[in-house]
Amino acid sequence: MATQNLEAQNSEAPLLDNDDHSQSADEHITFERHPDSYAHWALKVDGPVARLSMNVATSGGLLGDYELKLNSYDIGVDIELADAIRRIRFEHPAVKVVVLDSALAGVFCAGANIRMLAAASHSHKVNFCKFTNETRLEIEEASAESGLRFLAAINGACSGGGYEVAMACDHLLLIDDRSSAVSLPEVPLLGVLPGTGGLTRLTDKRHVRRDRADVFATKSEGVQGAEALDWGLVDEIAPPSAFSDAVDARASALAETSTRSDDGTAIALEPLERAITHTAITYSYVTATLDRSARTVELTISASDDDNWALTTARELDDLLCHLRFNEPVLGTIVLKTVGSAATVLAKSEQLLSGNDHLTRETALLWKRVLSRLDLTARSLIAVVDPGSCFVGVLAEVLLAADRSYMLDGIFEDDEDPLPPAEIMLTAASLGAMPMANGLTRITSRFWGSPDHITMAESAAGGTIDAARANELGLVTSTPDDLDWDDEVRLAIEERASFSPDALTAMEANHRFAGPETMATKIFSRLSAWQNWVFIRPNASGPEGALRKYGSGTRPTFDLDRT
């Protein structure tokens, strides 16, 4: 049963110190993987079908002395899954359906590893939940936007985060062997929540009735077979003798619904060129200068007319954001800059959004996901637009993602050979091609409830916008001149560093996502916030909490006040 699988995750290995769990410069979590070196997944492509089989190495924990029993996972397992999904999208355009299954008999996935969760720092728990959510959302986006279909072949017990992975798929096929169940046992067993989208997908995606969802999420043993099918927890069941044939038949049927076509523009995702020092992280087109005393990162995106600029820049920015989240939690403010030819970026953006080939479409969708990762990053974002900037086209979305933005009005008078005044330009990238997680453009989110302002900003698309016009349109926060520039930008950054990081994170998340909720915003704002509040409470993580006591033979002690 699912309960037994969760119990089997536990071992007597010592827990990591919750306060000291951080990585040194030599222990940074990295986010690039390759199928040849996967430790936890096997990817096999056979014509239109890709099979992604989970077989987690028990001794392969990324962060400490815990065993990943029964396909329980940590961040290292999910990094490989994210890599596999992305490679299928870019490198295998002939694939129409992805089958997710398990190589372990009787077990699909036992969910996030309990020992890892109990031991990890709070910061890691938060970012682990975010990353896993983003991976599941990428699976769903690949179905909605790329025409891929995903089949969860649940060939054994499937609990917690394992069921959440399955729910990200288009079709869930459960083996009906009188022992395998699907379950979300976090509430009754661990004192936490299904924190990677489980509760939200149960109601908003699978439309499970509220009272049944309540029973299911508090039923540690889960639901099997015909009952799981009747409740809408799975889409199909098959007995063991017919399970393999049922998987093949369903994969073929799903492939028929795919809109993917192989036009010969597949591309291998080569390793990124990256150098990391104590004060800088340098890629080909993205650089980050780290000021540890000021707790800031100056993130600069450089324009280039290289053919691979759009794809490589998106991958580099994505890698950097993940690195900062997990490895640099103290650097709380990101100053966003661009440099280079605006005309070059405009040309690249036009090509990105008008191209009809497989590679161009997937690159545009990658930019959409990376910009969403930027929106969801718990750092203060301050954009600086000065002469030599190229916040145009797709890079204008980086500007609009900022919590504040400063644009120089005029030129730097003291420069011997001053550059022309800065300009920005909005294009199709800002008019719907790159929506936020709330389904709205960043312009609409910026001016939520003010349709006239939205219309004015959108009508300015296609033309250059100087500082005065940007201020008039409300596209930037402030437009100081040369005399006030240094002081105003400096004071804004210094002020940010003086505030409570917790208060800033909550404030920024509220301001960034105006308007109606979507499944994604519920997962990140509601479920993730509650989950991580629960994680830090003593009922879950304290010495007598459920995560610490689970598997020890003694019951947790709860603070019984409702808060």
Task: Express each pLDDT in 435-478 by its tens digit.
Answer: 999 999 999 999 999 999 999 999 999 999 999 999 999 999 99
Taking the CB of residue 114, how many other CB atoms lie within 10 A of it? 27
**In angstroms, rounded to a whole number, what is the distance separating the alpha carbons of residues 118 and 128?**
13
Structure-token pair, residue 406: 């400063």
More confident residue, 13 or 450: 450
Structure-token pair, residue 517: 């909720």
Q: Are residues 321 and 239 in the same domain?
A: no
* Cβ burial, residue 461 (10 Å; 0-12/13-18/19+): middle
Burial 301-329 (b: 16+ CB within 10 A, else e): bbbbeeeebbbbbbbbbbbbbbbbbbbbb
Whole-prediction pTM:
0.94
DSSP three-state, residue 317: helix
528 falls within a domain: no
Query: Can you give the pLDDT at residue 16?
Result: 40
Taking the CB of residue 462, how many other CB atoms lie within 10 A of it? 10
503 falls within a domain: yes
Query: Can you give the pLDDT at residue 5?
Result: 54
Query: Can you give the pLDDT at residue 12?
Result: 41
Provide the greatest CA pair distance for the chain: 80
Q: Are residues 194 and 58 in the same domain?
A: yes
Taking the CB of residue 240, how many other CB atoms lie within 10 A of it? 12
558 falls within a domain: no
| Residues 319/272, Cβ–Cβ less than 8 Å | yes
Q: Are residues 194 and 132 in the same domain?
A: yes
pLDDT tens-digit series, residues 466-499: 999 999 999 999 999 999 999 999 999 999 999 9
First-to-last alpha carbon distance for the chain, in angstroms, is: 33
Residue 15 is classified by DSSP as: P
- The amino acid that residue 544 corresponds to is E
Reduce the secondary structure of 234-273 to three states and give it as a string.
Answer: CCEEECHHHHHHHHHHHHHHHHHCCCCCCCCCCCCCCCCC
pLDDT tens-digit series, residues 56-66: 999 999 988 89
Q: Specify the DSSP element, H or E, that contains 111.
A: strand 111-112
Question: Which of 264, 263, 255 lies closest to 49 in space, CA to CA?
Answer: 255
Structure-token pair, residue 531: 């989950």
Please give the angle made by the CA atoms of 407, 408 and 409, to the nearest 5 degrees. 115
Q: Are residues 280 and 426 in the same domain?
A: yes
**In angstroms, rounded to a whole number, what is the distance separating the alpha carbons of residues 358 and 263?**
7
Q: Where residue 15 falls among pLDDT bands split at 50, 70, 90? A: very low
Q: Are residues 174 and 216 in the same domain?
A: yes
25 falls within a domain: no
Strand partners, 290: 297
Q: Are residues 41 and 73 in the same domain?
A: yes
**The pLDDT of residue 22 is above 70:** no
163 falls within a domain: yes
The whole domain housing 377 covers: 275-512
Q: Are residues 202 and 308 in the same domain?
A: no
Domain of residue 124, CATH code: 3.90.226.10
pLDDT tens-digit series, residues 379-428: 999 999 999 999 999 999 999 999 999 999 999 988 888 999 999 999 99
510-524: average pLDDT? 91
Query: Can you give the pLDDT at residue 196?
Result: 83
**The pLDDT of residue 18 is above 50:** no
255-277: average pLDDT? 95
**The pLDDT of residue 225 is above 80:** yes
Mean pLDDT of the chain: 93
Taking the CB of residue 279, how many other CB atoms lie within 10 A of it? 10
Q: Are residues 131 and 165 in the same domain?
A: yes
Share of the chain above pLDDT 70, in %: 95
562 falls within a domain: no
Question: Which of 348, 274, 271 lies closest to 308 in space, CA to CA?
Answer: 348
**In angstroms, rounded to a whole number, what is the distance separating the alpha carbons of residues 71 and 9?**
9
Q: Where residue 99 falls among pLDDT bands split at 50, 70, 90? A: very high
Q: Are residues 372 and 491 in the same domain?
A: yes
Q: Are residues 385 and 453 in the same domain?
A: yes
Q: Are residues 464 and 537 in the same domain?
A: no
**In angstroms, rounded to a whole number, what is the distance separating the alpha carbons of residues 344 and 393?**
10
**In angstroms, rounded to a whole number, what is the distance separating the alpha carbons of residues 49 and 248?**
10
Length of the chain in terms of residues written: 563
Q: Are residues 445 and 326 in the same domain?
A: yes
**The pLDDT of residue 25 is above 50:** no
Domain total in the chain? 2
375 falls within a domain: yes
521 falls within a domain: no
